Amino acid sequence: MGTVTDSNKGSTSGDEDILGAGAGNTTEKDPEDWVTGDEPMTGAQRSYLDTLARDAGETISADLTKAQASEEIERLQAKSGRG
């Protein structure tokens, strides 16, 4: 079997874009920076928001974008302690 090598080992400059370990948390972007943030919220977001809003005793518009829904989910999770 061959040896797997990492061609990205070594020093990197501070302004170089990197992926993988050491790249920071690349899974969390500000919803305002999402490419698809202005699309309608997903079914999963809608369902989870419905649950969170009911638990919080709030009503929320059903016409949210993906980004808006994400922000509301974060707000309601913090309010309910589910986050």
Instruction: Render pLDDT for 25-68 as a digit per residue (tens, 0 to 9).
Output: 555 667 667 666 688 999 999 999 999 999 999 999 999 999 99
Domain spans, the chain: 37-80
Q: Which positions ≥6 away from 66 have C-beta within 8 Å?
A: 31, 34, 36, 37, 38, 39, 40, 41, 42, 45
* pLDDT band of 80, cuts 50, 70, 90: confident
pLDDT at 3: 47
Cα separation, 53 vs 73, whole angstroms? 9
Q: Which positions ≥6 away from 79 have C-beta within 8 Å?
A: 56
Cα separation, 36 vs 58, whole angstroms? 26
